[in-house]
A and B are shown apart, each in its own frame.
Chain A
Amino acid sequence: MLENKEHKVIGTRPIRHDGVDKVTGRALYGADFQAAGLLHGRVLRSPHAHARIISIDTSRAEALPGVKGVVTAKDIPDAGDKVADLGEGAVNLKYLCDNILASDKVLYKGHAVAAVAATNPHIAEEACTLIDVEYEVLPPVLEVRQAMEPDAPLLHEHIRTTSLGETAEEPSNVASHIQHKLGDPEKGFAEADIVVEREFITGTVHQGYIEPHNATAHYNADGQLTIWCSTQGAFTVREQVAEILQYPVSKIKVVPMEIGGGFGGKISVYIKPVAALLAKKTGKPVKVLMNRSEVFEGTGPTPASFIRVKMGATKEGKITAAEAYLAFEAGAYPGSPVGPGAMCIFAPYNIEHVIIDGYDVVVNKPKTAPYRAPGAPNAAFGSETVVDEIAEKLGIDPLEIRLLNAAKEGDRRADGPVHPRIGCIETVEAAKSHPHYTAPNGKKHHGRGVASGYWFNIGLESSVTINVNSDGTINLIEGSTDIGGTRASIAMQAAEVLGIPAESVNPSVVDTNSVGYTAVTGGSRTTYATGYAAYEAAQDVKRQMIARAAKLWEVDEANVQFADGEFSSINGKEEQISFRDLCGRLGETGGPIVGSGTVNPGGAGGAYATHVVDVAVDEETGKVDILRYTAVQDAGKAIHPSYVEGQIQGGAVQGIGWALNEEYIYNDEGTMTNASFLDYRMPTCLDLPMIDAVIVEVPNPGHPYGVRGVGEVPIVPPMAAIANAIYDAIGIRMTELPMSPDRLLKAMGKI
């Protein structure tokens, strides 16, 4: 399947197709949408982390001049016990609906309870203060281990733990327990000369995309619902809204506007169905925008977690056994990413005996959502710190111990799958030989740390259509939201097939009525799967063009070949025509050409990364500075290397924020006390050095050009790499995230 020839377009760095629009301010994002007669919606949110709703009285709000409509959960059709499969696994529809507008209970501070549409946003905001909600306040449960206690207050009286196929009789906050087992862990630990076991805590963190959620909805008189919004997947918005409103997908058109970041956080819908309900009630287009605190308090962060990791090794450094206990906060409703965390935790290693237990636990915090390699960073913080400690205690170089135990093709992951061709060894070797790793590192309170990470990546469905233009260019129609340059990386794959420059492709991301089904931009799948669909669509164009050349020359199609942008006859007649010239002759040879490609590929290639970081620890303040950072990653094949580097750099920096600063800070009542960009402190450019991104290319056999997903794995190693660097600097193992100045001062015994 893998094409082993020289590339003309792939691997080059053209200007992205949507670039000019985005540097001139012309690109239209969700909040930029305007319509005549537009109303503005605003959501009223719960001030309590856990409470029963006794009553909601909207009459005073409805009486305010300028208010055109108010909705509550009563306006959502009764979901019953239905379970809906929305492309990312089955979801209990009642949970989905209750998270949109709470019906009987509010389960976190910021939980939506009602919404208003008014003639301007200020009136809508004022009207929200006039909605009278009577609550019976209940004690909140804010931490995963507390929630797992048998006497903990219950969020949902009907949740009973499902554990390895069995369902418990008593209600619990533990929604599910999963387990992966390989070999005989007891035997493996008995074979070890050294065993290290540690417990880890990670805080709740947010994706932190700069653009808040937004949605504008309009119902036509014929019942056609249109939603303009920024989303990671227009089709998943269509499906979720259809399920929540019990409305046919064929009557919903979702128009994806440009999106200002997502990182997994813009897959679940929040205000999109609310805008639709308000539009239905008022008969007008309604725009609903979140503010920043609503984004923090009302949309999915990624879970806090409690993790225990135990690993054993021989004195030569061979890891003989590994055990992990992962308890993840799901937030208000079940569905944390503990599953992916359990899949990834020991994946950089080939270990014979493994046991992994994972627990999905509800707490009174917003329902968690995916965030870049969801679950894997939490897990790797534990495992990669323990590997470092084993290496240190055995006196083995930390990259050497990774090479000694590295996973390779044919090895089995603890959750079952056997690795295809992977680049684990290659990334560790590239890190080991990098000038950063071999540079001197000896100053007082300076330290160097390394860590590896894995993310499996996904395939899923994608569709691409190509319309051939008479001047030798093509219009490429796709359904994948472009969050970071994927118009370019998809267009370049079609250009490569057709032997034309990247600039001769005009890519468009279109609405759900205008392209075949395409799953979300997530799982690092877009350049892989939608790129694959573009490759197939271009192959379709090529086949049709060959037929046209054959017709033109009155030869058999088998006698036409295509290479380097030229069609030529290979048998008898000496004919030649360029792609461009043939495009100008489509009318006379049978009419326009439209190529299409649809895929649901099973060959997504897992990605490995190894990061090296130097830190300085300020003994007086506890502040950790990042001095130098190198991130090595296997991209399979980098279609547009600049945007691959960008993904690596951005992921690493999100990891640096997670490691050092970022966390939801709650008071005892369950109110987040830092719901702003001032107090939830993400890294600024002043906090960082340049991030050296090193691309390794071990082609993925499951893609014609060898592409692996690149977006997610760079966030997996940073937390452990930084913790290991801090240990190298001051001799203290930090086991709680974030490793903020106060925690460091405490660990150093200064406060």
Chain B
Amino acid sequence: MARRSHVQTTINGETVEFLCEPRQSLLEVLRDELHLTGAKEGCNNGNCGACSVILDGRLVNSCLVLGVETEGKSVETIEGLAAPDKLHPIQDAFLENAALQCGICTPGFIMSAKALLDQNPNPTEHEVRYWLAGNLCRCTGYDKIVRAVLDAAAAE
């Protein structure tokens, strides 16, 4: 077994230290080392977006980032989105629009939508569809997800 490296990073605003093997992805670290299981593994090769997180302001598939690469960086995950007593407007919009069925893709979609609205607060339907094309949902047909993101943009 390879030696484990010490990594210090910021996750959802808190300084976090962990040990990980060089081959462990950020997704593995989040889920297996830090027990932040909101990011999901759907494909482990960057095709489904279920593991989407925001790394230094940029949307990434955490399965394609190594844990050691997050040294000194800042990671936002689904667990950090809601305030203790209040959901984020995107989360509210997903609930109001019934934009989830099984819910496995939901954390990824919400993080992806947040990254979009952070840089483009008033996207068109086409811009929403273009941006979210890296996230797969097999239950909803995307209709209500796209509406939820447009609603969240209007609400913010």
Interface residues of A (CB under 8 A from B): 13, 15-16, 18-20, 22-29, 31-32, 34, 66, 120, 122-123, 207-212, 258-263, 289, 291-292, 483-485, 640, 642-643, 645-647, 649-654, 676-678, 682-686, 688, 690-691, 693
Chain A CB within 10 A, most for which of B40, B48, B138, B146: B138
Residues of A within 8 A of B21 (CB): 122
B44 neighbours in A (Cβ, 8 Å): 291-292
| Contact B138–A263 (Cβ < 8 Å) | yes
Which secondary structure dominates chain A's binding surface?
loop
- Contact: A260 with B38, CB < 8 Å? no
Check A24/B40 contact, CB under 8 A, given A652-B141, A682-B138: no
B91 interface residue per 8 A CB criterion: yes
For B, the interface residue count at a CB cutoff of 8 angstroms equals: 58
Is residue B68 within 8 Å, beta carbon to beta carbon, of the partner chain?
Answer: no
A292 and B98 in contact, given A24-B82, A210-B40, A211-B40 (Cβ under 8 angstroms)? no
If the complex has contacts A29-B40, A643-B98, are A24 and B139 also in contact, measured as CB distance less than 8 A?
Answer: no
CB distance from A64 to the nearest CB of B (A): 11
Query: Is B136 in contact with A26, judged by CB distance below 8 angstroms?
Result: no
B141 and A653 contact, CB distance less than 8 A: yes
Tell whether, in the assembled complex, residue B136 and residue A677 are in contact, meaning their CB atoms are under 8 Å apart: yes
In the complex, A455 Cα to B144 Cα: how many Å?
25
Q: Is the CB of A677 within 8 A of B47?
A: yes
Closest-by-CB residue of B relative to A25 is B38
* Contact status A686-B133, CB under 8 Å: yes
| Interface pair B100/A22, CB less than 8 Å apart | yes
State whether the Cβ of B102 lies closer than 8 Å to any Cβ in chain A: yes
Q: Contact between A23 and B95 (Cβ–Cβ < 8 Å)?
A: yes
Give the nearest-CB partner of A65 in chain B: B1
Contact (Cβ within 8 A) B100 A23? yes
With known contacts A23-B95, A25-B37, A677–B139 Cβ distance under 8 A: no
Name, among B103, B107, B132, B136, the residue most crowded by chain A CB atoms within 10 Å (CB to CB): B103
Closest CB-CB distance, B41 to chain A, in whole Å? 7
Please tell me if B124 contacts chain A, counting CB pairs below 8 Å. Answer: no
A649-B78 contact, Cβ under 8 Å, with A210-B40, A643-B98, A686-B129: no
> What's the least CB distance linking A293 to chain B, in Å?
9
Would you list which residues of chain B between 38 and 64 have a CB under 8 Å from chain A?
Answer: 38-45, 47-48, 50
Q: Say how far A441's CB is from chain B's closest CB, in angstroms.
A: 22
**Is B23 an interface position by the 8 A CB rule?**
yes
**Given contact pairs A25-B38, A34-B35, A485-B101, A654 touches B47 in the complex (Cβ within 8 A):** no
Q: B residues within 8 A CB of A31? A: 31, 37, 40-41
Q: Please tell me if the beta carbons of B87 and A24 are within 8 angstroms of each other in the complex.
A: yes
Instruction: Tell me which residues across on chain A come within 8 A of B98, comparing CB atoms.
Output: 13, 16, 485, 640, 642-643, 645-646
Whether A688 and B142, one on each chain, are in contact in the complex, defined by CB atoms closer than 8 angstroms, is: yes
Q: Is B142 in contact with A210, judged by CB distance below 8 angstroms?
A: no
Contact B133 A685 (CB under 8 A): yes
A643 to B139, CA, bound (A): 11
Q: B65: shortest Cβ distance to chain A, in Å?
A: 17
Give 4 closest A-B pairs by Cβ, nearest first: A25-B38, A260-B104, A653-B141, A649-B141
Bound form: Cα–Cα A19–B129 in Å: 23
B130 touches A23 (CB 8 A): no
B140 within 8 A of A: yes
Residues of B within 8 A of A643 (CB): 98, 101
- Docked Cα-Cα span, A683 to B129, in Å, equals 12
Q: Within the complex, which residue of B102, B106, B134, B137 is in contact with A259, where a contact is CB–CB below 8 Å?
A: B102
B residues less than 8 Å from A650 (CB atoms): 101, 138-141
Kindly count the residue-residue contacts between A and B in the assembled complex, taking CB atoms under 8 Å apart.
190
Contact B139 A484 (CB under 8 A): yes
Tell me whether A483 and B102 are in contact in the complex, defined as CB-CB below 8 angstroms, given that A34-B35, A685-B142 are known contacts.
Answer: yes
Is B11's CB within 8 Å of the partner chain A?
A: no
Chain A residues whose CB sits within 8 angstroms of the CB of B78 once the complex forms: 24-25
Question: What are 21 of the A-B contact pairs (CB < 8 Å)?
Answer: A19-B94, A19-B95, A22-B106, A23-B91, A24-B38, A24-B87, A25-B79, A210-B42, A211-B42, A260-B42, A292-B44, A483-B139, A485-B101, A649-B142, A650-B101, A652-B141, A653-B142, A654-B138, A684-B135, A685-B129, A686-B129
CA distance A122 to B22 in the complex (A): 12
Q: A25-B78, A690-B143 are in contact. Are A210 and B129 (CB under 8 A)?
A: no
Is the Cβ of A261 less than 8 Å from the Cβ of B45? Answer: no
The residue on A at minimum CB distance from B130 is A686
Q: How far is the CA of A24 from the CA of B81 in the complex (A)?
A: 7
B110 at interface by CB-CB < 8 Å? yes
Q: Which residues in chain B, 20-40, are within 8 Å of chain A measured between CB atoms?
A: 21, 23, 31, 35-40
B130: A residues at CB distance < 8 A: 686
CB within 8 A of A32: which of B31, B95, B137, B142? B31
Check B77 for interface membership: any CB of A closer than 8 A: yes
Asked if A20 and B95 make an inter-chain contact with CB atoms under 8 angstroms apart, the answer reads yes
Inter-chain contacts of B139 with A (CB < 8 A): 261, 483-484, 646, 650
Q: Map CB proximity to A onto B118-156 as digits: 1 under 8 Å, 0 otherwise.
A: 000000000011101111111111111111000000000
Answer whether A685 and B102 are a contact pair too, CB < 8 Å, given A260-B40, A292-B44, A646-B139.
no
Q: Is B116's CB within 8 Å of the partner chain A?
A: no
Nearest CB in chain B: distance from A480 CB, A: 14
Point out the residues of chain B lying under 8 angstroms from A122, CB to CB.
21, 23
Interface-central residue, A24, A25, A289, by most chain B CB under 10 Å: A25
Measured between beta carbons, the chain B residues less than 8 angstroms from A291 are: 43-44
Nearest chain-A residue to B103 (Cβ)?
A: A22
Is B45 in contact with A676, judged by CB distance below 8 angstroms? Answer: yes
B115 contacts the other chain (CB 8 A): no
Q: Is residue B96 contacting chain A, with contact meaning CB distance below 8 A?
A: yes
Q: How far is the CB of A208 from chain B (nearest CB, A)?
A: 5
A25 and B88 CA atoms in complex are apart in Å by 13
Closest CB in chain A relative to B137 CB, distance in Å: 7
How far, in whole Å, are A678 and B134 apart by their CA atoms in the complex? 10
Name the residue of chain B whose CB is nearest to the CB of A642.
Answer: B98
CB–CB B94/A23 < 8 A: yes
- Chain A residue numbers with a CB within 8 Å of B79 are 24-26
